[in-house]
Structure 1
Amino acid sequence: MYEQPALQPHRQPAISKPEGTISIDGEALISGRDEADKKLSNPVKVDERTLAKGKKLFNIFCSVCHGPEAKGNGPIASKYVQPPDLAMDFYKQRSDGHIYGTIRFGSVVMPPYGEAMSSEEIWEVVNYLRSLQGK
């Protein structure tokens, strides 16, 4: 049964998107963190409402590892690889697109959250993180 003449998705190469493809929500079509770093700029303005939403989402998805102030000291941080202190200058210098891409696609040890949050919600988290960084 395994070798039936049917589509074998685990054996087929990924089909690239046709030139000029546009996403249904207007979000740029990106395939990973490096591409997000180069192509994306933050479309969500910073105001009290978006910062409050970003804080709520950060507390739900991020603070368990990164801690409430993004210092890498969340309640489960000691059980896994130490999460980075996102208030460090190294992370302050990263572009908003890079941070967005990391949240959406994940990294070596961080899981992706692109299926759990909308693009707008991820940008709200980026804005909130920037407020924690003093930017």
Structure 2
Amino acid sequence: MSDRPPVAVSLIKLAWCCLLASVLTAALMFPVVGGLGLVFNRASDVVANGSSQLVEGEIPGVTTMVDARGNVIAWLYTQRRFEVPSDKIADTMKLAIVSIEDRRFAEHNGVDWQGTLTGLSGYLSGDPIPAVVRPSSSST
């Protein structure tokens, strides 16, 4: 008799080795394929969200800087600003914005007669200090 194992035993060993190699290959490739799937899924979500914003009209606002004559100097694109309804803005923020323009706004209820008369008298007297240094408010 020969020392060679029967053909059936060799084929079974070969089948087991192929199966083991397939399982190991699949286990090693799973993180790569899974990672690519996550990347493509995330990219798909980003594109879908961007498209829905364009369809719904929620594109970010762009600030345009102009000179004294109204000529465009620059456009600022680095921030993503969206219009927000007034009821979504905190009252303290509204008060802060108004106080930047006129800190005595709450005292004169919209028309600052003292500031207006001061500005007018300075203008009529030829005062070299511009009116922007002494503002008068008519914000409502």
Structure with bigger gyration radius: 2
Relative contact order higher in (CA < 8 Å, ≥ 6 apart): 1
Q: Say which structure is richer in helix.
A: 2
TM-score by length of structure 2 reads 0.26
Q: Say which structure is richer in strand.
A: 2
TM-score by length of structure 1 reads 0.26
